[in-house]
Amino acid sequence: MKIHEYQGKQLLKDYRVAVPRGSVAFTPEEAGEAAAAIGSSAYVVKAQIHAGGRGKAGGVKVVHSPEQVSEAATELLGKVLVTHQTGREGKEVRRLLIEEGSAIDKEYYLGIVLDRKISRVTMIASSEGGMEIEEVAANTPEKIVRETIDPLIGLAPFQARRLAFAIGIPGDKVNQAVKLMLGLYQVFVEKDCTIAEINPLVLTKEGKIVALDAKLNFDDNGLFRHKDILELRDPNEEDQKEIEASKYGLNYIALDGNIGCMVNGAGLAMATMDIIKAYHGEPANFLDVGGGASKEKVEAAFRLILSDPHVEGILVNIFGGIMKCDVIAEGIVAATKSIGLNVPLVVRLEGTNVALGKEILKRSGLAISPAGNMADAAGKIVSLVDQTAGGVAQ
């Protein structure tokens, strides 16, 4: 789960990480008031969307009076920002962070991630922070330094000092940086983060080390023990289908393709996506309905797939063990009854109550192409979707 920058900064502040003074605003009036309350010679108006790259896309504005803050807010609110992280459709700006402006002397990069290769949390830092960090990683990776963190010891102060010196933080500012790094590590561990990134970390002209940006992502599997984090959820920023799926306890992830998949078991779901790709198709989603799904759950799952406008064909691949094939069939029929079915549907059913399941589908009168095995199923749905697409193109 992702949160907004202003929420991340509030959390960081609780962990003794220095951040600029600021507050959230939903309207130009609130923005002006927030600026007046801060009282500074410079303000930053920052679009709050769950994506980075806002600076380059015009989503961060530095201005000099509360009036200019409201003007910038009028311009930004409601605007659709397209950054290199939003995808082509962009994201609508509905909230702003109004902050006191910082006079920047130097920008650094600081982040914490899990290094999956060595199964260790790693702190990463660079002297070349700011908006070009992707280029630094690609062209001058030696300018990125790292410290692997022992989970039993945690980030040791000497490691933080070593990083601070390695990225060229002036000697008399190193203690500030160390305090900030230790706070960042603590929030990462205590809140089950998957990413904690500060880019840029800055040295201000007044000699302060400050987190000027904050990106915190959280492990969804840890959210049950962080009610405070769950409250920060912004549904506007999330895929509506994924929210709907989580209500029913379905493991659903939206993807870019056009073949909707309904599968039981995460392993089979992965294998199904692979085989669709092997037949030169593109899955529209990952969907695992799980083991003992009810008819209602299957129905919700199928409705989710049908509600995706990119779906041009559906592949149902069920190996019934605990999951019964007749329950799957009933769920499919119930979902199509309320919204209809106007894309090809290939069904491969095997296992418990398979005969009954097939019978239910047959009696429903739905146009279903049955498939004998996975390869057959994938081949069929890819060619059916291709035919439909060809028909449209003519």
Nearest to 55, CA basis, from 199, 204, 174: 199
Q: Cα–Cα distance between 81 and 238 in angstroms, integer?
A: 16
CB of 133 to Mn ion, least distance (A): 8
| Residues of the shown chain interacting with ligand GDP in the complex, contacts defined by CB under 6 A | 44, 52-55, 60, 62, 101-102, 104, 107, 130-131, 199-200, 212-213
**4 vs 348, beta carbon nearer ligand GDP:** 4
Q: Which does 264 bind (CB under 5 to 8 A by kind): Mn ion, ligand GDP, none?
A: none
Cβ-proximal residue to Mn ion, closest one: 213
Q: Which of 7, 48, 199, 285 binds Mn ion (CB under 5 A)?
A: 199
Give the pair of three-digit tokens for residue 231: 């409250």
- Cβ neighbours, 10 Å, residue 374: 20
Q: Which does 344 bind (CB under 5 to 8 A by kind): ligand GDP, Mn ion, none?
A: none
Q: Which does 60 bind (CB under 5 to 8 A by kind): Mn ion, ligand GDP, none?
A: ligand GDP
Coil, helix or strand at residue 365: coil
Q: Cα–Cα distance between 81 and 53 in angstroms, integer?
A: 10
**Active site residues per annotation:** 109, 197
Nearest to 125, CA basis, from 48, 56, 43, 209: 209
State the alpha helices, DSSP H only, in 15-104.
Answer: 28-38, 66-76
Answer for the pair 29, 39: CB distance below 8 angstroms, yes or no. Answer: no
Cα maximum dimension of the chain:
79
CB of 126 to ligand GDP, least distance (A): 13
Coil, helix or strand at residue 39: coil
Answer for the pair 302, 343: CB distance below 8 angstroms, yes or no. Answer: no
Considering only residues 52-91, where is the footprint of Mn ion by CB under 5 A? none
CB of 177 to ligand GDP, least distance (A): 18
Helix (H) or strand (E) run with residue 241 in it: helix 240-247
**62 vs 156, beta carbon nearer ligand GDP:** 62
**101 vs 351, beta carbon nearer ligand GDP:** 101
CB of 97 to ligand GDP, least distance (A): 9
Q: Is 213 in the site for Mn ion (CB under 5 A)?
A: yes
State the alpha helices, DSSP H only, in 16-125.
Answer: 28-38, 66-76
**213 vs 330, beta carbon nearer ligand GDP:** 213
**61 vs 241, beta carbon nearer ligand GDP:** 61
Cβ-proximal residue to ligand GDP, closest one: 55
CB of 199 to Mn ion, least distance (A): 4
Catalog residues that contact Mn ion under the rule CB under 5 A: 199, 213
